[in-house]
Chains A and B, each alone.
Chain A
């Protein structure tokens, strides 16, 4: 067995995902009792000790974020669960919420208690209607058990409406506030000025699920998996040319080859049967060659060595017949479409990239593309503009990937 089941419930789990029995079976009821008797400081020091990092893409240390919100001056504080999940190739939060919706919600309640928030929001993309219903049912269960409500933590679900940029944390705040979901300039950071200018803790679904399983067990248990640098497990969403696409939980440090080929994971390359490339991390991810894949493992240092990042955990697999320039063109159009248009380097840059590729092809003016990419990285307000050219640049750097194009 290469897969682990911690964030995802054991295969032997019998209770229905939103039931009170599930709350008990997963140890979440006990975790809530335990945590609500603890001080914020104690909770946060356990989070810090566990080494959990954000699973939404940026891998920011979770304990540090909690502590910053905890210490921030302000009567009113908020917790937000980011379930916007609109990154290409990313569907792990969907599967996590389908299979164990109570976990992430228990994480929200623990977070709220720890930082002193009375109000929380769960922001979920508008296309996940079934998942939203399940989340609402799980909230009802928590409400029936007295964990959710005006005297504890009030939790509201907010449904997005088809804007990729709304997943960016400050854009998401604007969306909840009823404004256009345009990112704000940082600093101030959300931990100091987030929702309605109050200190706000925003975390990805998977990060919060990690918090719930941590307190359902203990730090020692939590540290059983992972590497020295990165503790714990990661959900990877494998799609494309593998025999068994899906979401799998694996320890940090697992080799990419195993992720693709193990019989209980990707199950081997499909399509032509020959691995062509991997796009790791989403639309703003990095293309990797078969050689790079062969020597890399799922860890920040290992991937950093080949210029890649785990990002949200999207593992997109292409056999050797796929036209990667075509793929990159599609990505470029996506970013041009989704740029909120607030800042020039991104608004104009994403358009220029599309024009350059469509008119001249990616090979003809590589230097211009590179300079444009760097300008966007350095001068855009938010992560969208900063990372939009990454996949393209990674393809420029790997001429061998363009041979069959």
Chain B
């Protein structure tokens, strides 16, 4: 194990120190890792695998199933709902505005299926907050904020 891996593995151990070493804790553990690192790299999978004593392939299989863990590059994701009810209310414009604002920055724009906010379509979500009846101006400012 090289020293960089050693550091990550130690950091993950500390991060997960109070999580019981049980298979049923894998999803909460992965969430904690994603909240810290914003993505799940092979290295992080290895660290979780060691930390919880679950085979690497199993951790990989679980982590790769969930779309909210799928964020290669680890930029801050902002999700724009492009599902049917938001589509009717102009989610395309919203997405384009967000994408231009995010270009070459630390934020990445992801399309999302229904966010469960259709009464406030079009909706977007950045983890920290939900944008309801979002306007292009608003999403641009959220993208700028999220990048800081």
Q: Which residues of A contact B (CB under 8 A)?
A: 85-91, 94-95, 125-130, 158-164, 175-181, 196, 237-241, 245-247, 271, 279, 316, 318, 322, 327, 330-331, 334, 337-338, 340
Contact = CB atoms under 8 A, between A and B. Distances in A.
Contacts of B11: none
Given A163-B65, A239-B85, A330-B83, A178 B117 contact: no
Contacts of B79: 127
Nearest to A238: B119
Interface stretch (B2-10, B93-101, B108-116, B138-146): B108-116
B118 A239 contact: yes
B24 A176 contact: yes
A331 B24 CA distance: 32
A88 B113 contact: yes
Interface of B: 22-28, 30-31, 34, 54, 58, 61-62, 65-70, 79, 83-85, 87-88, 112-121, 125, 127-130
A89 B120 CA distance: 11
Nearest to A318: B88
Contacts of B87: 327, 330
A179 B65 CA distance: 10
A290 to B, nearest CB: 18
A316 B113 contact: no
A94 B30 CA distance: 24
B119 A180 contact: no
Given A89-B84, A241-B88, A159 B116 contact: no
Contacts of A163: 65-67
Query: Which one of A160, A162, A247, A340 has the greatest number of beta carbons of chain B within 10 Å?
Result: A162
A334 B113 contact: yes
A130 B116 CA distance: 13
Given A89-B84, A180-B62, A330-B84, A158 B118 contact: no
B31 A91 contact: no
Contacts of A85: 116
Contacts of B128: 129
A88 to B, nearest CB: 5
7 contacts: A86-B116, A127-B68, A129-B127, A161-B67, A177-B24, A245-B119, A334-B83
Given A159-B27, A161-B69, A89 B88 contact: no
Given A88-B84, A178-B54, A330-B87, A237 B118 contact: yes
Given A91-B118, A237-B119, A159 B84 contact: no
Contacts of A178: 22-27, 54, 62
| Most B-side CB within 10 Å, residue of A87, A91, A129, A246 | A91
Contacts of A127: 68, 79, 112, 115-116, 125, 130
Contact of A91 (B22, B54, B117, B127): B117
B148 to A, nearest CB: 20
Most-contacted residue by chain A among B54, B68, B87 (CB, 10 A) = B68
**Best-buried of B79, B114, B125 by chain A (most CB within 10 Å):** B114
Given A88-B114, A180-B62, A162 B68 contact: yes
Which of B23, B83, B88, B128 has the largest number of chain A CB atoms within 10 A?
B88
A45 B115 CA distance: 37
A340 B61 CA distance: 12
A23 B60 CA distance: 43
A245 B62 contact: no
Contacts of A95: 119
B20 to A, nearest CB: 11
Contacts of A239: 85, 118-119, 121
Indicate the member of A129, A159, A161 with the most B CB atoms within 10 Å: A161
